[in-house]
Structure 1
């Protein structure tokens, strides 16, 4: 696939270690801020109102604008620079969190916190696209792309695990303290953005950056990378299974006689399993290749879905969910490494936006399936979706195999 290969710069060991550390730290600051705010907003609303309905509204309000942000943020990142976008997001989030703290102090109530959730949710997705683009730009110059992307994925999973824990501890002291901690992290992130220096794009790359506009450019770049399209196909059905299971967690946990608090253990253990899988697969990816990791992760996810459907105890269900989370962590490393190598830098943000839209769509579909199915039919529904995912995985594996040459055009790790 010459067109793709020519747009990918050669790997060299020229990336300064200090730059890599700063990019990792920047990502950690942004993700941890997002994780804490995502946890705090619904809980604060529930504390203020005592209403589960209001808490649900707050949770939905955080996520709905993220879909809009995907469409706007990708082209914005490509048109400007990731650093510019990240700095703007960090400063805007700092102002919003300051306003949220003032609103709590003034007794403004739940509506003000919901508005904070809406705005921060939008900014979180824009920041996600910018950090993905920045990480890909730095990762292209790293001698071991798989390990670099594995660390980036591990940072995401660690923040997803630590954020709710930190938020829960801070809520014991007070809601303003929790928002204050997120505010401090946002300021630190802004400072980190200020000290990260990226080289300007080359002449041709700069012209391409100015020429590329909107999601159409991202869709064209995605179509030009068939291997990435096949990989994405398998992940779509994995996300359908994941969305169904995530929506069903409270139902299944209660069916095992556990309280709603036991749901938190499912997410914490799952995040830890995903973190471990991401680190292990990053080390193995250069040896076994993307197709093997992706196929193993997809089949593991299908097995986890069947296991969750047939789980006879709470412990068995938690183990199945941990297996699913581990499969997701491995698949993310494969996806991130592949797209960092096959997608031209000047349309990276737009392409990630298109991919995010494709991968996000099955999640609410899973919730609709749960709503439409009778409670007694949930195990059968889970098994059916797991079997569908297995069938699509096999088809995608054959498609990925036909285009495996594009995955070996540039080494994934240093050659001995």
Structure 2
């Protein structure tokens, strides 16, 4: 695959990520404006993330069986159509805002899982393990750019449009993403051979890989802790902005944009950091800052302080992901990559719907900022428990030229 085709593939990924960011901006506002309830915001987040998580094993099997290009095209095509139908329905029946957006996000979440695992299984076929940190940081850069462009574009559009009308724009970028990947006919060459294996058998394969590799289990523990902090912020960011601090919808756009700006700044430092420290140290630093960001959000008495904590937690997720994704590729056999990662990401992301469930159950009775303090404390305790084991066994704890080669 030449550079032009790789560039088109990455551009399509950028469009897809932009669509995700626009949905993440629009849906919380639609739900909170329609219901005025923090608990309902948490329930909407649960409806979004539960289908995403439980569909991950299927995504892993599909990635190994039919390859990334086909999965991408179908997933983003379905999301484009779903956004169009939801926008049209909300125009006709605005009183059904919660039901429509919950159904939309459930469907889009299922498709997101398929595209995400397809990406995870495809990238290792395009680049060597030695170049994996650079490749993963490039993908994070795409996410960061979308993190700025998505809220910025949404904030500008909201000068003329209601939050529900942003779904039309999301449909357009998902359609562009699907068309871009569809144009890559040669991309089918990167697909793995089809495997005649059921979803349950694929899940069992992934489980065996995880069971036999304690380091992967430790990485899952770290990811669960991070996602609990991030999930709580995603579920309540709009409600805290509009409800707790009484600010307009455009302020929520500034919150999202601050994440993107700081994320890009951290991304630009990745090459410099990787020349001076190991991928492992980069990941550990990011994890600690994410947890500290949760504490800052929990203690914030003003909106600028809350924005600072929010930005710290989200901006450093990219650096943490570079570590997690690079490290686990040293341990997972290529032949089981899709199925193993499908299971691992399923476990990693269980704490996201858990965060939504937590908010939906107690969000209207317990101050949300107390929940931030609790989950940040859980994350820090998790790190203390796992730190010595990770430092001793991580293959990314050494500089790239000294790290042992993957099997």
Cα pair distance change 1:322/1:198, threshold 3 Å: same
Counterpart contact for 2:133–2:322, Cα < 8 Å: yes
Q: Equivalents in 1 of 2:238, 2:26: separation in Å?
A: 19
Deviation at 1:372, TM superposition (A): 4.7
* 1:321 has 2:310 as partner: yes
Q: Give the alignment of 1:253-268 within 5 angstroms.
A: 257-259=245-247, 261=249, 262-268=251-257
- State the partner residue of 1:183: 171
Match of 2:231 among 240, 243, 248: 243
Q: Give the alignment of 1:253-292 within 5 angstroms.
A: 257-259=245-247, 261=249, 262-285=251-274, 287-292=276-281
TM-score by length of 1: 0.77
Deviation at 1:145, TM superposition (A): 1.8
* 1:332 has 2:321 as partner: yes
- State the partner residue of 2:119: 131
- State the partner residue of 1:349: 338
Cα pair distance change 1:42/1:285, threshold 3 Å: same
Cα pair distance change 1:18/1:412, threshold 3 Å: farther
Cα pair distance change 1:44/1:323, threshold 3 Å: closer
* 1:145 has 2:132 as partner: yes
Q: What secondary structure does 2:247 align onto?
A: coil
Cα pair distance change 1:395/1:61, threshold 3 Å: closer
Counterpart contact for 1:150–1:281, Cα < 8 Å: yes
Counterpart contact for 1:140–1:340, Cα < 8 Å: no
Deviation at 1:358, TM superposition (A): 1.8
Q: Equivalents in 1 of 2:105, 2:243: separation in Å?
A: 31
- State the partner residue of 1:5: none
* 1:155 has 2:145 as partner: no
Q: Equivalents in 2 of 1:394, 1:240: separation in Å?
A: 17
Q: Give the alignment of 1:8-407 within 5 angstroms.
A: 16-41=2-27, 43=29, 50-52=34-36, 56=41, 60-100=46-86, 103=89, 107=92, 109=94, 110=96, 115-140=103-128, 144-171=131-158, 172-173=160-161, 178-196=166-184, 197-198=186-187, 200=189, 206=193, 209-210=195-196, 213-247=201-235, 249=237, 257-259=245-247, 261=249, 262-285=251-274, 287-366=276-355, 372=362, 375=366, 378-379=369-370, 382-383=372-373, 385-405=375-395
**Structure 1 segments unaligned to the other structure (5+ residues):** 1-14
Deviation at 1:188, TM superposition (A): 2.2
Cα pair distance change 1:249/1:368, threshold 3 Å: same
TM-score by length of 2: 0.79
Residue-by-residue CA offset, 1:13-44 (whole Å, 9 max, x unaligned): xx632243123112112212233244445656
Counterpart contact for 2:49–2:352, Cα < 8 Å: no
Q: Equivalents in 2 of 1:167, 1:334: separation in Å?
A: 31
Q: Equivalents in 2 of 1:375, 1:177: separation in Å?
A: 33
Equivalenced residue count is 391
CA RMSD of aligned residues (A): 3.8
Cα pair distance change 1:265/1:126, threshold 3 Å: same
Cα pair distance change 1:144/1:283, threshold 3 Å: farther
User: Bigger shift: 252-261 or 338-347?
Assistant: 252-261
Q: Equivalents in 2 of 1:271, 1:30: separation in Å?
A: 16
Counterpart contact for 2:151–2:254, Cα < 8 Å: no
Cα pair distance change 1:211/1:322, threshold 3 Å: same
Deviation at 1:149, TM superposition (A): 0.5
Cα pair distance change 1:389/1:377, threshold 3 Å: same
Q: Equivalents in 2 of 1:255, 1:97: separation in Å?
A: 27
Q: What secondary structure does 2:182 align onto?
A: helix
Q: What secondary structure does 2:316 align onto?
A: helix
